[in-house]
Structure formats: C-alpha cells, structure tokens
Amino acid sequence: MGSEREDLEIEMETLVGSSQSARKTSPIEIPHNLALSNVSISWTLSRLLERLWKSVKVVIFTVKINLLLPFGPMSIILHYLTKNHGLVFSFSLIGIAPLAERLGYATEQLAFYTGPTVGGLLNATFGNATEMIIAIYALKNGMIRVVQQSLLGSILSNMLLVLGCAFLAGGIVHCEKDQVFNKAAAVVNSGLLLMAVMGLLFPAVLHFTHSEVQYGESEVSLSRFSSCVMLVAYASYLVFQLKSHRNLYSPIDEEERQNEDDLDEVEVPELGQWEAISWLAFLTIWVSILSEYLVNAIEGASDSLNLPVSFISVILLPIVGNAAEHASAIMFAMKDKLDITLGVAIGSSTQISMFVIPFCVVVGWIMGKRMDLNFQLFETATLFITVLVVAFMLQEGTTNYFKGLMLILCYLIVAASFFVHVDPPDGR
C-alpha cells in the first residue's frame, strides 16, 4: 500500500509539473506569434506605401506637362464662383491636356504586358478616350453638331497634324535617308478611311439633294443602318489585324530592327500591370469630370472669346484630346519606328471613323437623340480631300521631312477654313 501511495504521489507531481510547464510555455508562444504577424503586416503596409509613392512619383512628378494639372480643379472652382464661360472653358481645356498625355503613358506601360499588336490597339483606344467622353457628354446635352465636329476634327488632327509632325521630326533626325514603313498595312487603313467617307457622304448628299423618301427621317434611318455596317466592318478589321493576318502588321526589316534594338538599352516597364490599369481607370474618371464642365462652357466660350463653335469643336478640342497620340507618334518616328507611328496616328483615325462615330450614332439612337452621319457638305468634303491627300502620301511606303511639312501646312489651311466657317441656318 505504501508503494502504491508513493507511485500515485509521483504521478500527481508529474501531472502538476507538466501543467505548470504548459502554463509557463503557452503564454510565451502566443505573444511571439502575434509579434511576427504584426511585423509582417507593418512590413506589407510599408511596402505598399513605398510602391504607391513610387507610382505617384513616376506618373505625376516626372513630367513637366503635369504642371498644368491644377488648371482642372481651378476650372471647377471658377464654374461655381464666376459665370465667365471663357475662363472655365480655357482652364478645363488646359487641365485635360496633361491627363490625355498621362492616359497615353499608362497605356504604353500596359502594352509591355499585352504585346505590341494589342498594345497598339490599346494605345489607339485610350488615346481616343478623351474624345469619346467629350462626345458622349455633348450628345447627352443634345449638342449634336459639337459631337460631329469634334470627332471630325480628331480625325483631321490625327491624319494631318499628328502624322505631319511625326514625319517632320523623324525626317529631321534621320535626314540622311527616307524612312520606310509597312505599305500593306497603310493601304488597309486607307481603304477603311475611304469606307468611312462613303458612310458620311451618302446621308449628306441625300439631305442636300432633297431626294429622301421621308424628309428628315430617311437620312437618320440610313445613318443608323450604315453605322451598324461600319461597326461590323471594324470588328472584322480587328479579327483581320489580331488573328488572321497578324504578320501583315509586323514591322518591315524585322531582323535588322531586332539587331539594332539589341544594341540599344532594353526598355523596362516603370509600372506594374495592375498599377497601369488603376491609373487608366482614375485618369479616365477625372477626364470625364472635366469634360462635363468643358462641354457646358463651349457655347458661352464661343461668345466670350469671339470664336466660331465650329473652330472650337474641330480645332481646339482635338488638339488637346490628341496630346497622347501626338507625343507618342513623334517619339516613335524619331526612333525610326514608323510602323508604330502609323499605328497610333492612322490607327486612331480609323478607330474614330469606323467605331467611335457609328457608336455615337447607336448611343444617340438609344438616348432618343437624332444623331446621324450627315456631317454637312463642308465637313464631309474636308474629310474626303484629307483622306485622299494622306493616301497619296502613304502609297510609296516611304516618308521624309518634306511630306511631314506638307501635311502640317494642309492642316493650317483646314484650321483657317473652319475659322471662317459658320453652319447654315438649317444646320443643327
């Protein structure tokens, strides 16, 4: 019995000792785990904040044009404090310029992760985001002529001013030779632009020859049908460009270009993929906010600045909206990458004429607005002659500074024409 009692006491002591040791060790392990988790959370937050600051620094503080960013908030303040539409229009127009350029930059960063073909398409798409947003706000306010003229001006600006400046800059940098580009791709885009001219020409001719079956209704019906056809044609063009004939859009002398690129520094993206997408979303929202104030001030600015609405819509708005295309097209031309320059300038014009304009007609149809393809004879004739001039410039597959100078001078003639142009009394 004594031995059994001693055994029981020994077992009790071991149990008590183990429980005490467990009590001693368990309070030590829990704070240790908590400390590790707190350290990991603080380290993650510091990394996120560091990455966010680096992203903001790259996008906002590295480009001098961003000194114009405060004009955007100032235009909103002026809208509520004063009734000076000229100042509101001017400040919002200046404030949108750096946003359009940064949209192009964010798109270029995203193109590092999507490939060159899809990247060129994204560049053209987000390069036209400013024009599309302005057009939708103007369409919502019933300003159909502003929609038509701003989109027409964007096409003219891309084909004459942007392409001309790119050819001029590239020709001066590479003055010892003619720069070469892929002629086959340029011919396809020229054909699409001529198709767009045909879509705009027939409603205008139908209206001005008074040969409609139902006056005022037939041109709208024809415009809606033609818009659907043009959207189908643009979708087919995307399949043609991205799938079936992708090799047609590969740069010429690709092996030589690759050897030259190997000698140059390898370009590394400055933003991550999701950072670029986030900046695209933020910049698009900010552009849409400023566009609303810009559109609301157009008519008042026309009176206070003593400028025709047509000149404001065709010349001033597109110059600001095309800031991204303008900068990137000149940069690629100076690097002797003419195929990318044409993809930005001519590709953007093709997208506006074959997608954005028909899309606005369909959106106006949904909104109950009488948006059509009757751009009036003066505007349609201007577009037709511009497409012919650019098509002749591109038919040889080579370019130089003189061709660029001719395109810029043609744009000056167009700008002067719209400065003295006023819509007819029955124009909308």
For residue 44, give the amino acid letter.
T
In this predicted structure, what is the pLDDT of residue 156? 93
In this predicted structure, what is the pLDDT of residue 30? 47
For residue 206, give the amino acid letter.
L
In this predicted structure, what is the pLDDT of residue 11? 52
In this predicted structure, what is the pLDDT of residue 398? 87
- Is the CB of residue 333 less than 8 Å from the CB of residue 170? yes
Tokens 């003219």 identify what position? 156
- Half-sphere exposure at residue 380, Cβ-oriented, CA atoms within 13 angstroms: 20
Summarize pLDDT for 215-238 with one digit per residue, the tens.
767 888 999 999 999 999 998 988
User: What is the number of residues in the chain?
Assistant: 428
Can you give the residue ranges of every domain in the chain?
63-250+269-420
Q: Kind and range of the H or E element at 194?
A: helix 183-208
**CA-based nearest residue to 119, from 128, 130, 127, 110:** 110
- Is the CB of residue 68 less than 8 Å from the CB of residue 95? yes
DSSP 18-82: HHHHHHHHHHHHHHHHHHHHHHHHHHHHHHHHHHHHHHHHHHHSS-GGGGGTTHHHHHHHHHHH-
**CA-based nearest residue to 354, from 237, 203, 250, 183:** 237
Measured CA distances, 405 to 120, 169, 412 (Å): 25, 10, 11
∠ Cα 78 68 141 (to 5°): 50
DSSP letter at 249 equals G
Give how far the C-alpha of residue 306 lies from the chain's centroid of Cα atoms, to the nearest Å: 30
Q: Which two tokens stand for residue 359?
A: 């899309």
In this predicted structure, what is the pLDDT of residue 14? 53
Distance CA 212, CA 206 (A): 6
**Stated pTM of the model:** 0.78
Distance CA 45, CA 39 (A): 10
Distance CA 222, CA 225 (A): 5
In the chain, the percentage of residues whose pLDDT exceeds 70 is 81
What is the fold of 63-250+269-420?
Answer: A middle domain of Talin 1 (1.20.1420)
* Higher pLDDT, residue 252 or 80: 80
**CA-based nearest residue to 90, from 100, 104, 78:** 78
DSSP 364-376: HHHHT----S--H
pLDDT band at 47 (very low <50, low <70, confident <90, very high): confident
Helix, strand, or coil (residue 180): strand
Q: Where are the alpha helices (DSSP H) in 240-375?
A: 254-263, 273-296, 298-305, 309-311, 317-321, 323-334, 338-351, 357-367
Summarize pLDDT for 301-355 with one digit per residue, the tens.
888 888 888 899 899 888 877 776 677 788 888 888 888 888 888 888 898 999 9
Distance CA 64, CA 98 (A): 9
In this predicted structure, what is the pLDDT of residue 309? 87
Interhelix angle 338-351/218-239, nearest 10 degrees: 150
In this predicted structure, what is the pLDDT of residue 379? 92
Helix, strand, or coil (residue 399): strand
Q: What is the mean pLDDT of residues 54-68?
A: 84
Helix, strand, or coil (residue 398): strand
DSSP 128-157: THHHHHHHHHHHHTT-HHHHHHHHHHHHHI
Distance CA 153, CA 160 (A): 10
